[in-house]
Structures are given as structure tokens and as C-alpha cells.
Amino acid sequence: MQRYFVKQRANGNRFLIDEEDRHHIVKVMRMQLGDQIICVDQEGKQAVCALAEITDTSVVADVVQWMETVSELPISITIASGLPKGDKLEWIIQKGTELGAHRFLPFSAARSVVKWDEKKASKKIDRWQKIAKEAAEQSHRAFLPEVLSAISFKELLTKSKKFHYKIVAFEEESRNGETSVFAATLKKMNKGDSLLLVFGPEGGLTDAEVEQLRENDFAICGLGPRILRTETAPLYTLAAISYHFELMR
């Protein structure tokens, strides 16, 4: 059954679906009145709905049954990625959404080859947010992840103060055989806690950046004996977090 994130409700049991999703419902899926979809509101409430009205600009769907399924991780995870080259960030956003991330925060690292262009920022963010929305619908998320505009490393340090726990993946720790920090941090976390995960760009984080992160209460960790690419490491951590909080328990 197709799933759609809906921005507004006409009342407690009626969803108003906007033009973009209307196009998908009518032109792509070729649905008709009475067909059923799943609607998710901005609070994460989910319902099986039947199409009640189809106009030139929108679709109205009436609630058939509210759903109680839980598809979200019990902790809130923000992935902070040093701006990578090409479409790697799109890959991180798509797969990271499927694996349960709540927020994506690109930042300009010392070794980022890509330079953030504010003139093109709005189009990039719109594209990234669309990727996250489609991935969230495909993976039956109840929460639509937020993709933020790229910030500086200094701004990252400032934003980090709002999180309960903070981890930076550093390849030198993996080379040195560090294996306990990541697992130990997860064991300390409780439902509702927030976790900021920081990953460097292709060239990694500099020693100076890692030292600044350490000074701002980040735990510095390795991710096993193998050195992971910048687009692989976030997915590894999310899969491990899912295993720890969902499968192991």
C-alpha cells in the first residue's frame, strides 16, 4: 500500500494531499475513488485511508483505520557529513533514511573538496529533502527526516551542544584497534535521547578538527578493523544502532 507524508488535515479523520503527491496518486499509480493509501501526518500518526475526492489540485482521503505500528528508532540520530564529492551525500540521505536517521547535517570540513554555494543551496536542499521523503515513504517510516543546509565546522561545534551524546568516527582510531567507545555509548543511551554522529569527507578529518571535537565532549571512536568510505561509515553505524536497539532487544 502506497504511503504519503501529508502536511495538513481538514479535520481529525480527513487528510488533504497536495499537488505533488496528487500527481503520483492519479498519474503514476492511477488510483481511483475508494482506493486505499497510508497517510502519515507531521506528528507521525499513521492511518489507512480511502480516496474520497480527487480535484485538479489535490486529493482528499478519509481515515479508515488508525495504525499503531512502530517503525522509528527509540533514539534520535543526526548524521553530520563532511561535504563529499559527487552524489555521495544523496546516497547517504537515501540509505540513511531507510536505516532510521532523523536528520542530516552537511558541514564544510578542512578536507572537503566540494565548496558550498549558497546561491545553489535552496535547489540542493529541495532535492535532498525529496530524496529523504521518497526513501521514508518506501521504508514505511512514520517520521520524515530533515535535511539541513550545510554549515561550517565552527557552527557544527556550536550545534553539538544540544545533543545528549556525540560521537565522531575517526579512521586513526580504527587503525589503532579502538573497539569499545561506540558500543559503550549505545549502552548508556535511553529512549528519547539524541545522538550526533560526525563523519569526515573523503580525505577524513584533520587531527586539529578531531582535537576540537574532543574538546567539545565528543567521543572519538573506531568502526572496526576495516577503513570505511565516507558514504559507508554512516550506514554501518545506523545498522549497528538498529541491531542494538531493535533486533538484540
Kindly report the CATH number assigned to the domain that includes residue 18. Answer: 2.40.240.20
In this prediction, residues 95-101 reach a mean pLDDT of: 98
The answer on 137 and 98 residing in a single domain is yes
Domain boundary residue among 31, 47, 67? 67
Residue 130 backbone zone (phi > 0: left; psi -120 to 50: alpha; other: beta): alpha
- Categorize the per-residue pLDDT at 42 as very low, low, confident or very high, splitting at 50, 70 and 90: confident
The pLDDT score that the predictor gives to residue 12 is 77
In this prediction, residues 196-207 reach a mean pLDDT of: 95
In this prediction, residues 201-212 reach a mean pLDDT of: 94
- How far apart CA 186 and CA 60 sit, in angstroms, is 42
The pLDDT score that the predictor gives to residue 213 is 97
- How far apart CA 249 and CA 237 sit, in angstroms, is 17
- How far apart CA 34 and CA 36 sit, in angstroms, is 6
The pLDDT score that the predictor gives to residue 28 is 92
Residue type, 5: F
Q: Which three cell numbers stand for residue 78?
A: 543526526
Q: How many domains does the chain have?
A: 2
Of 13-22, 134-143, 154-163, 202-211, the poorest mean pLDDT is in 13-22
Domain boundary residue among 67, 87, 121? 67
- Categorize the per-residue pLDDT at 66 as very low, low, confident or very high, splitting at 50, 70 and 90: very high
Percent of the chain topping pLDDT 90? 76
Domain residues for the domain of 144 are 76-247
- How far apart CA 187 and CA 159 sit, in angstroms, is 24
The answer on 161 and 51 residing in a single domain is no
The answer on 174 and 135 residing in a single domain is yes
The pLDDT score that the predictor gives to residue 200 is 95
In this prediction, residues 98-118 reach a mean pLDDT of: 93
The answer on 152 and 82 residing in a single domain is yes
The answer on 20 and 96 residing in a single domain is no
The pLDDT score that the predictor gives to residue 159 is 96
Torsion sign across C-alpha atoms 220, 226, 231, 234:
negative
In the predicted structure, residue 87 carries a pLDDT above the cut 90: yes
- How far apart CA 176 and CA 222 sit, in angstroms, is 8
The answer on 234 and 190 residing in a single domain is yes
Phi and psi angles of residue 63, each rounded to the nearest 5 degrees, phi first: -65, 130
Q: What is the pTM of this model?
A: 0.90
In the predicted structure, residue 11 carries a pLDDT above the cut 80: no
Of 119-133, 164-178, 222-236, the poorest mean pLDDT is in 164-178
In the predicted structure, residue 177 carries a pLDDT above the cut 70: no
Q: Which three cell numbers stand for residue 221?
A: 571512536
